[in-house]
Amino acid sequence: MMKWDGHTHTQFCKHGSDRPLRAYAERAAELGFERYTATEHPPLPEGWVDDPVLTPELAMDRSELPLYLADATAVKRAFEGRLDVTVGLEMDYLHGRESFTEELLSEASAAAELEDVIISVHYLPGRGGMRCVDYKPEDFRDNLLSYYGSMEKVADAYYDHVELAIRSAASWRWRRRLGHVNLIEKFRSALPPIDEAQIRERLQRLLPLLVESGVGIDANAAGLRKATCGKPYTPEWFLAACAAQGVEIVFGSDAHRPEEVGAGWDWFAASLPGSGTAGDARRI
């Protein structure tokens, strides 16, 4: 098993640290990682989220994309022979704006050697337009829960978008994987519960899509660091099921500051099939 942190951020993240990518890579090397992937949030369509406070925090400006790619490429070269740094992006699934995504990927791949692309669902239609599922519990309650009427309906809308995201990434030529599959649970202790049977059923439905599309899974540990979540965003039983089906699994700390690089690796290593602690895939 390669020690690889495949989901991390940089100084270009508007809701993270201003420490440079080089500091993140240095931390990964110190921890003994063999591969490290920078997957920054690329620009969003203008007006995607209509919130003057939140919008500037979501993603880099369009003018910053070439700067990020150049920086990631420079860090890749600087760490050659010590750490395999790969250049990536965490693309948002933009329902109805897929052409924007394809345009952005084309621009990025022309500017740099793009190697890894994560596709994530951060946004759902809600009150007043597109809303973040992972902003604040009160925003979720006011603009998603009140809009859909129940957590069951919000969850179904979320997993519907996840399925569409997988299909949209199927034709991409880079290594590609689905980001933090259960991000919808980020505020689980602050909101009405989502039925576990519903979550399990929706995750089971993803398995054939992942196999068919060749899209891998981001074994995202960031939920462990969130007080309102307290568990990884990727269930252990689902990792076991993905492994049994041959779906690529890549650990992701989802670090937004250098000290978070590699956070959760011990959980991931212990959860892999064959470790003795992972859930039994046959139970699905």
pLDDT tens track for 85-120: 999 999 999 999 999 999 999 999 999 999 999 999
| pLDDT for residue 27 | 98
CATH 2.40.50.180 assigned to 4-283: no
HSE value, Cβ hemisphere, 13 Å, CA-based, for 36: 33
| pLDDT for residue 237 | 96
pTM comes to 0.94
Q: Which run of H or of E encompasses 36? A: strand 35-40
| pLDDT for residue 264 | 98
Candidates 62, 77, 81, 59; CA nearest to 10 is 59
Candidates 154, 219, 161, 158; CA nearest to 193 is 154
DSSP structure class, residue 233: S
Instruction: Compute the distance between CA of residue 249 and CA of residue 210 in angstroms, rounded to an integer.
Output: 11
Residues of the chain with pLDDT under 50: 276-284
| pLDDT for residue 283 | 30
| pLDDT for residue 273 | 66
